[in-house]
Amino acid sequence: MAGDRPRVAPPQDVALIGRSTQQRATVLAALVTAEGFVSARALYNRLLNGGSPVGLSTVYRTLTALAAADRADVVRDTNGERLFRYRPGPDHRHYLICTECGLSLPVDSGPVEKWAERIARTSEFANVRHTVELAGVCPDCGRRHVRAP
Amino acid sequence: MAGDRPRVAPPQDVALIGRSTQQRATVLAALVTAEGFVSARALYNRLLNGGSPVGLSTVYRTLTALAAADRADVVRDTNGERLFRYRPGPDHRHYLICTECGLSLPVDSGPVEKWAERIARTSEFANVRHTVELAGVCPDCGRRHVRAP
DNA sequence: GATTGATATGAAAATCATTTCCATCTAGCG
DNA sequence: CGCTAGATGGAAATGATTTTCATATCAATC
Ligand SMILES: [Zn+2]
Ligand SMILES: [Zn+2]
Ligand SMILES: [Zn+2]
Ligand SMILES: [Zn+2]
């Protein structure tokens, strides 16, 4: 198995999670290209079809590491499956996600950040983190469902 | 197996999720008594030890039904496990939960509800729901960790 | 460019929460 | 008292994620 694997431009980010390997660059590139939330399995399949197979465990490891390094946002879909989305900037974001097609839009979370901070401050709790997700049906999917089963 | 199972006062709520059975009353009573978030398995064990065993599948079914009937709030812990908490009132709540001991406190969520509503309104999305959770380390658990591994 | 030790990979097996199956029970009603 | 739709529970199935461990490869050093 030498060398005929398509090289993907490894964004500098790869270095942030340890050694810079071919697989990590591939997974990261795929995540960036996805432009939305994807599951580990979906990414795995995408790479498989694309001719750049990466082991499923490696996909999981890479995505988990990216999330830990704040390079990816993570949400859980209704079945409890984890979905990952590449995050360009340093600050975390919150999204409005379509439960039908997965379309995700960052929302203005300023107010909710302030609220969370205030709660954290006035509580005696330490190291307070928050999870905020909005989910609904996007216009396209809604249109598609008018009077149809 | 006749009749020596301790009767638990079935809150009227049992009726809300179909037939009023002994098991559902038992599960609901245990959930109320828990006074915090519990997993299905934890509740199952509690009942087992308490001498009022209820099948695990039934525990799951009951908790799921209670949640669907807005009688319980649900969160996911860091491992993706679902935790349930009995909800006395009609309105949903959000909590500040201790990641160490599970202690959960309802927080004032007025501002975040308004925020979520505004986002929902200004987006074109339909049927928008939200998930909001705060998690940290409670005073007791924090104290317990000072300078200790 | 060869050596090498720390890391990373991946296929398969293991975990673990949750669901489904299905044979058996029972609440609720006439 | 029956009757039956709905409920139960133990076992088996499902499905995502993690672990295992033998093998491969990064990257620093000679
Ligand atoms: Zn959609
Ligand atoms: Zn935030
Ligand atoms: Zn605590
Ligand atoms: Zn709310």
Give the pLDDT score at A149.
41
Given this model, what pLDDT does residue A15 score? 77
Q: Is the CB of B142 under 7 A from strand D?
A: no
Condensed to tens digits (0 to 9), the pLDDT of residues A27-82 reads 999 999 998 999 999 999 999 999 999 999 999 999 999 999 999 999 999 999 99
Is the whole-model pTM more than 0.75?
yes
pLDDT at B10: 43
Measured distance CA(A46)–CA(A43) in Å, rounded: 5
Do B140 and A142 touch, CB atoms closer than 8 A? no
Q: What separation in angstroms does the CA of A40 have from each of A82, A123, A132, B40, B103? A: 8, 36, 21, 27, 32
Asked if A124 lies within 8 A of B132 by C-beta distance, the reply is no
Do the chains contact at B134 and A127, CB–CB below 8 Å?
no
Q: Which helix (H) or strand (E) holds B44?
A: helix B40-49
- Structure tokens given for B144: 């317990």
Burial B86-120 (b: 16+ CB within 10 A, else e): bbeeeeebbbbbbbeebbbeebebeebeebbeebb
DSSP letter (8 states) at residue A6: P
The A-side interface with B (CB below 8 A) comprises 76, 80, 82, 96, 98, 105, 107-108, 111-112, 115-116, 119-120, 123-139, 142
- Straight-line distance from CA A17 to C1' D22, in Å? 24
Distances (CA, A) of A41 to A31, A36, A87, A98: 12, 15, 19, 19
Q: Is the pLDDT of residue B144 over 90?
A: no
Q: Which of B96, B115, B120 sits opposite A125 (nearest CB)?
A: B96
- Would you say the C-beta of A54 is within 7 Å of strand C? yes
Residue B100: pLDDT band with limits 50, 70, 90:
confident
Look over chain A and give the mean of its residue pLDDT values, rounded to a whole number. Answer: 89
Q: Name which of A107, A120, A132, A103 is nearest B131 in CA terms.
A: A132
Closest CA to A60 of A79, A78, A38, A80: A38
Contact A96, B130 (CB under 8 A): no
Q: How far is the CA of A45 from the centre of ligand 4 (A)?
A: 36
pLDDT at residue B93 tops 50: yes
Catalogue all structural domains in chain B, each as residue range(s) with its CATH number: 1-88 (1.10.10.10), 92-149 (3.30.1490.190)
Taking only the tens place, the pLDDT of each residue in A83-98 is 999 998 889 999 999 9
pLDDT band at B146 (very low <50, low <70, confident <90, very high): low
Pick out the nucleotide with least CA–C1' distance to B77: C17
Residue B6 is given by DSSP the state: P
User: Which of A92-106, B12-26, B129-143 is least confident?
Assistant: B12-26
Residue type, B53: P
A19 touches strand C (CB under 7 A): yes
Q: Which nucleotides of C are covered by protein (CB under 7 A)?
A: 7-12, 16-21, 26-28
Residue A130 β-bridge partners: B134
- CA-nearest residue of chain B to A128? B136
- Asked whether residue B54, judged by its CB, lies under 7 Å from any atom of the DNA or RNA strand D, the reply is yes
Do residues B98 and B67 make contact, with C-beta atoms less than 8 angstroms apart?
Answer: no
CB contact under 8 A, B115 and A119: no
Looking at residue A144, its pLDDT comes to: 82
